[in-house]
Amino acid sequence: MKRMGRYCKAYEVGKLAEFPGWAEKERDGPAPGGEGEGAPERGERGFYYVQEDFTVTDGIFLGEDVVFDDVTPEWMEFCKSTLDFRVPDYEEVKQ
């Protein structure tokens, strides 16, 4: 069953690839949206999603079509400092 996380944000593939340790995983199974002719290729839209757990996916669902999952302190720092990725504190927003 597909699961939505609390937060994800889209980034251009080229921006993510600026990370020195960037290496896309091989695709497991069919492309999102179906198989065969006309099915989108990975990254065809030009962006991926950084998820709340710092993994990168080719869709909005957490744990589905994972592109990058080598979550290291260096990757997390790159996301925070270079990409300015922050999961909103929803409790803070309510006030």
Strand order in the sheet with 47-51: 8-12, 47-51, 56-57, 66-68
Are 54 and 9 spatial neighbours (Cβ–Cβ below 8 Å)?
Answer: no
Element (H, E) at 68: strand 66-68
Q: Please tell me the predicted confidence (pLDDT) of residue 76.
A: 98
Tens digit of each residue's pLDDT, the chain (95 residues): 788 889 999 999 999 999 999 999 986 655 555 555 554 566 567 999 999 999 999 999 999 999 999 999 999 999 999 999 999 987 765 55
Rounded alpha-carbon distances, angstroms, from residue 53 to 7, 17, 35, 74: 9, 18, 28, 14
Predicted local confidence at residue 1, as pLDDT: 76
Domain regions of the chain by residue span = 8-29+40-94
The structure tokens listed for 34 are 């179906």
